[in-house]
Amino acid sequence: MKILVGIKRVVDYNVRVRVLPDGSGVDTDGVKMSVNPFDEIALEEALRIREAGDAEEVIVVSAGGDECQQQLRTGLAMGADRAIQIQTSESLQPLSLARAFLKVIEREEPGLVILGKQAIDDDNSQTAQMLAGLWDRPQATFASKLVLDGQTASVTREVDAGMETIEVDLPAVVSVDLRLNEPRFVKLPDIMKAKRKPLDVIPLEDLEVSVEGNINVGHHASPPQREKGIMVEDAAQLVQELKNRGLI
């Protein structure tokens, strides 16, 4: 069985994001870029499934310009067998990305697709659900535990009321949450080996994917600066301050 894992190039979560002075976007000049943390967890789970003997091949897929090859190589260094770059200069919205992933699925015929539940840059949390709908296969989102048993997968997921365990038939789409696992550390020898692993580049045009209807972001702005707090003498003053601010 093949496992397909989607990964995205994002600003590293340790970096403080800065908006460009003209509000046209986020400043990425000289900024460290990394694999989306949720996607790292998805890849780690795929590698563990392969190491347990339940899969034969793990393939990482990313959409973007040639700069995303750095993150694909990181995925290969973690242990993925192959990498596929969907080459495009456009920033794909979830529906267009799901359509592109579906074309790759039709070529590779994986038994399982694992994605991070969301990307930390846009926080859409939509691609996995849209992909399952387009593929017409079962989905299990926000997985905190994943167990394969033949042609089915048991997925424990977080819901508002607590934890829920469901069973889905394979092939299926699974999106993963933070508590599923802890990704492995990439060692220097693995980085060197990754340079020799295959990385296929497929232009988006070759997949014949429609990208109409993308959302255009007109302006970016930093969050407003938080007002300085005050110390109150007693509960009566606290209530009065809340009334003055229109909060009660």
Residue found under tokens 């990425």: 28
Q: What are phi and psi of 15, to 5 degrees?
A: -90, 135
| Residue 64 pLDDT grade (very low, low, confident, very high; cuts 50, 70, 90) | very high
Kindly state the average pLDDT of the residues 95-124: 94
Q: Which of 61-70, 179-188, 206-215 has the lowest mean pLDDT?
A: 206-215
108: part of which helix (H) or strand (E)?
Answer: helix 94-108
132/134 Cα distance (integer angstroms): 6
The architecture CATH gives domain 2-217: 3-Layer(aba) Sandwich (3.40)
Q: Is the pLDDT of residue 146 over 90?
A: yes
Q: Specify the pLDDT at position 89.
A: 87
Mean pLDDT of the 38-42 span: 96
Among the listed residues 13, 202, 40, the one whose alpha carbon sits nearest the alpha carbon of residue 114: 40
Alpha-carbon Rg for the chain in angstroms: 21
Mean pLDDT, rounded, for 158-165: 88
Q: Report whether 8 contacts 120 (CB < 8 A).
A: no
- CA dist 218 and 221 (Å) reads 10
Mean pLDDT of 162-166: 92
Please provide the average confidence, as pLDDT, over all residues in the chain: 92
pTM of full prediction above 0.75: yes
| Alpha-carbon distance values, 40 to 16, 79, 140, 189 (Å) | 20, 11, 18, 19
With a cut of 90, say whether residue 211 has pLDDT above it: no
pLDDT range class, residue 140, cuts 50, 70, 90: very high
| Strand positions, DSSP E, 112-171 | 112-116, 139-149, 152-159, 162-169
Residue 215 pLDDT more than 80?
A: no
Per residue in 175-201, pLDDT tens? 999 999 999 999 899 999 998 999 999
Percent of the chain having pLDDT more than 70?
Answer: 99
Q: Is the pLDDT of residue 18 over 80?
A: yes
* H, E, C per residue of 66-88: HHHHHHHHHHHHHCCCEEEEEEC
213 pLDDT higher than 80 = no
